[in-house]
Structure 1
Amino acid sequence: MSGLDHRLEPEGKIRRFEVINGAMGRRRWSADERARILEETFVPGAVVSAVARLHGLTPQQLFTWRRAARTQLEAEAPPGFVPAVVVAPEPMAAKEPRRRAPRRCVAAIELEASGVTVRIGDGTSPATIAAVIRALKVPS
């Protein structure tokens, strides 16, 4: 006889398992139960896998619930609009003298965010405008 232990798990270790009998099939979670479980995952320092294990779920199922909740919140949220004010450009002075004055940019777009005003001139590339807007969105 071999001295190897052929058991899959060491003796003394207690495992938790759930027996589903009859025609019950999948477990059904009410919206309130799902919300309560999801709230536990958003507590600072919470580990989704541990919360899932606590409630007899797989982490994948809990992440799917989180994704569905986020999608629903985004769909219910009103779109965020920024008030736009259209102002006519200032008229240029008639025939200024022929000296080289610093070039003045007439702003085609003016953005105000967090107390910062950015003026984007006419003819600016869309990529540059997108980069400026992305830079303004970054929290400081």
Structure 2
Amino acid sequence: MATTGEFLRDYGVEIRGNGQRRWPDEVKALIVAETLKPGATVNAVAARYGLRANHLSEWRGRARDGRLVLSAVEYDSLCFAPVVMSDGGGAHMPAASGEAVTPEAKLCASIEIAIGQVTVRLGEETRAGRIAEIVRAIGALA
């Protein structure tokens, strides 16, 4: 049976001589995702990996803020989300605030992803790969 250190090294965790650990973001994301499963608790998941619960809670906060992208969960069935697209001309489109946007309004190339009360706004410089990561992460939480 592998020791905790061997187990963690297999996942790419760097363990220094003084016992400090350097966790790759991919591993952090997997551990945070475990805390989001029904019935899971931060304390139980933290104990399984030899972490302090407050340290894991910090990672969860990073994920909430978009600074740590969680992996997409594999689903057996497809899940669709409504998408509204506009080329900027023609019909009036409702804005997130409920106000109508007219064709004369200043357009800015941005993407807005709204789920419940949370809205993520991405600028025109956002790479397609990054958008896909964010959509997968949000889909895993929904």
Higher relative contact order (CA 8 A, sep 6+): 2
Q: What TM-score do the two structures reach when normalised by structure 2?
A: 0.37
